[in-house]
């Protein structure tokens, strides 16, 4: 009976975690789609990004990385791993989900080798965005960061969904 209760509790935790991830992935998808549309609009305008374009792209980039980080934080919590507490906690959190570190923290590999470097670039870019003004952003430099978002989304979503599928199989859901 006790084992059944434990299994039921674990299944409920997983269902709650999976729903949180589903909602976050839906927001990431929408953000990635909007970035792709914005990039197409700018390209159609001879690659001229207005201040509004740059502000929108900066906001989308910030939102995208925050969404990725939200999933990493929720996954840490779900796996019973405390969040880092140092001043560099954003980078430490991301590193825990990479090939080099995920096993030592008993976390899933969510930042696969193909997206580890782009995620690092997006995290650093988010820092720049948060501490500056859109009118000071140079589109040529900025666009290199923003263009990473649609490329990162699909592999990240796949890694999250693969982990959720493994957990469902583990608990026979």
Render each residue's pLDDT in the chain as its tens digit; 173 residues: 576 677 788 889 999 999 999 999 999 999 999 999 999 999 999 999 999 999 999 999 999 999 999 999 999 999 999 999 999 999 999 999 999 999 999 999 999 999 999 999 999 999 888 888 878 889 999 999 999 999 999 999 999 999 999 999 987 75
Distance CA(89)–CA(127), nearest Å, equals 13
Q: Could you give the angle at which helices 2-44 and 51-79 cross, rounded to 10 degrees?
A: 170
- Yes or no: say if 11 and 173 are a contact pair by the CB < 8 Å rule: yes
For residue 37, give its domain range: 2-170
User: What are the tokens at 158?
Assistant: 């796949």
CATH code at position 23? 1.20.120
Q: Is residue 160 within 8 Å of residue 25, measured between CB atoms?
A: yes
Cα within 13 Å of Cα(135), Cβ side: 0
Q: Give me the pLDDT at residue 120, please.
A: 96
- In degrees, to the nearest 5, what angle opens at C-alpha 112 toward C-alphas 107 and 114? 165
Q: Select from 89, 156, 153, 85 the least CA-distant residue to 127.
A: 89
Q: How many domains does the chain have?
A: 1
Within 10 angstroms of residue 138's Cβ, the number of other Cβ atoms is 9
pLDDT the model gives residue 173:
53
């Amino acid at each position: 009976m006790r084992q059944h209760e434990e299994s039921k509790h674990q299944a409920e935790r997983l269902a709650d975690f999976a729903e949180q991830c589903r909602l976050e992935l839906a927001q990431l998808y929408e953000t990635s789609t909007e970035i792709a549309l914005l990039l197409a609009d700018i390209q159609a305008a001879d690659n001229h990004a207005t201040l509004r374009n740059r502000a929108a792209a900066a906001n989308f980039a910030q939102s995208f990385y925050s969404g990725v980080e939200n999933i990493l934080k929720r996954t840490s919590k779900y796996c019973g791993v405390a969040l880092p507490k140092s001043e560099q906690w954003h980078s430490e959190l991301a590193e825990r989900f990479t090939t080099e570190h995920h096993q030592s923290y008993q976390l899933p590999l969510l930042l696969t080798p193909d997206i580890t470097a782009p995620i690092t670039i997006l995290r650093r870019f988010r820092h720049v965005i948060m501490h500056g003004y859109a009118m000071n952003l140079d589109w040529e430099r900025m666009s290199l960061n923003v263009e990473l978002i649609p490329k990162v989304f699909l592999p990240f979503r796949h890694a999250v969904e693969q982990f959720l599928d493994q957990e469902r199989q583990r608990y026979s859901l």
